[in-house]
Amino acid sequence: MEANESHELQEHAEHGAHESAMRPVAFTMAVLAVLVAITTVLGHRTHTEAVLDQNKATDQWNEYQAHKIRSNDTQLAADLLSVMPAEDKDARAKLAKGYAEHQSKWADETKADMEKAEALEAKVEQAELRANRFDLGEALLEIGLVITSVTLLTHSRVYWHLGMVFSLAGVASALSVLLLK
């Protein structure tokens, strides 16, 4: 065996040892990439949920306003009726009674509409809180992935460990969504 061949075999052995030493880092990067993708999808879905709930809340507030406007219009008509001279007092009393019944009905509907709208707004706030946690988790996982990848360039495992710290914080942030009500 020539000296040149011996040197090539030694380099090949060193390269193989170096490759096997970086396998855990590469595997970690693959797992982190999957976690980033999952967290991103969950965050996007949660933001979409918040937007849809906000649209429902807006629709509910619009219904509340419509009932409120009808109630105010009916009250104005009842007020006008009360100050106008009437030739037929029975017809006037019948109209006033009808207006009062509508007012009572709309007061209940208006209150129910307001409660529904406020409940939907609370739901929006909860969805936004969850989405923010997913966003933070995504950012920390991405930072962890990038720092971990520096290990492949520098061959220093310090970056792998630092990347794992960021990644664990990202996973904790994403999982903290489960603790929210």
Cβ atoms of 46 and 127 within 8 Å: the answer is yes
How far apart are alpha carbons 124 and 128 in whole angstroms?
A: 6
Predicted TM-score of the model (pTM): 0.73
Per-residue pLDDT of the chain (181 residues; tens, 9 = 90+): 465 665 565 555 455 555 777 899 999 999 999 999 999 999 999 999 999 999 999 999 999 998 888 888 777 777 776 777 767 777 777 777 777 777 777 788 888 899 999 999 999 999 999 999 999 999 999 999 999 999 999 999 999 999 999 999 999 999 999 998 7
Q: Which residue ranges make up each domain of the chain?
A: 24-179
